[in-house]
Amino acid sequence: MFSELEKYKNKGHFFFEKGDNLKEASKNVPNLPGVYYILKLAQGKVEIVYIGKSGTILQNGSFKEQGLQSRLNNKQDGMKRQLFFEGKFNEEKIDALDLYWFVTFDKSERDLPSYVESIIMQRYFEVHGRLPEWNKEF
């Protein structure tokens, strides 16, 4: 979807459906710094609803503890993401979510997650003139 993400070797995606356990669905996502985006599959349409990152780098070059797996299972809009997704399934008549993740910083890649997130957010904005539906600000 975003050509800038094609270079990352450590990547994947998983589907999340109503009734699924998010921790179980995301168990194969590494807890490393990176970016992710979420596709909403609803009523025959597919659209990006969220772009995010994990891994905040500190001045000394180390990262805060939260990697991709932790970030995906953390909070959104002040509630556990599991509950957030469950509410959205009902509210927006969602059939499934497809979560794509990309490790941007490890032994072979050295791209800061915030930098990569800004690039893909810019690409999205160039096409749509707005942020994804679930991104409140950037």
Q: What is the mean pLDDT of residues 17-23?
A: 97
**Quick one: residue 77, left, alpha or beta (phi over 0 = left, psi -120 to 50 = alpha)?**
left
For residue 60, tell me if it sits in a domain.
yes
The string over 12-22, giving b where at least 16 C-beta atoms fall within 10 Å of a residue's C-beta and e elsewhere, is: eebebeeebeb
Provide the 3-class DSSP secondary structure of residue 14: strand
Q: Is residue 73 part of a domain?
A: yes
pLDDT at position 48 is 98
Q: How does pLDDT run across 96-124, given as a tens digit for each residue?
A: 999 999 999 999 999 999 999 999 999 99
Contact, 87 vs 81, CB < 8 A? no
Helix (H, G, I), strand (E, B) or coil at 8: coil
Q: pLDDT band at 65, cuts 50/70/90?
A: confident
Structural domain total, the chain: 1
* pLDDT, mean of residues 78-95: 96
pLDDT tens for each residue of 42-58: 999 999 999 999 999 99
**Arithmetic mean of pLDDT, 50-78:** 94
Q: Is residue 135 part of a domain?
A: no
Count of positions (residues) in the chain: 138
Range of the domain at 109: 3-128
Q: Are 121 and 36 in contact, with CB atoms under 8 Å apart?
A: no
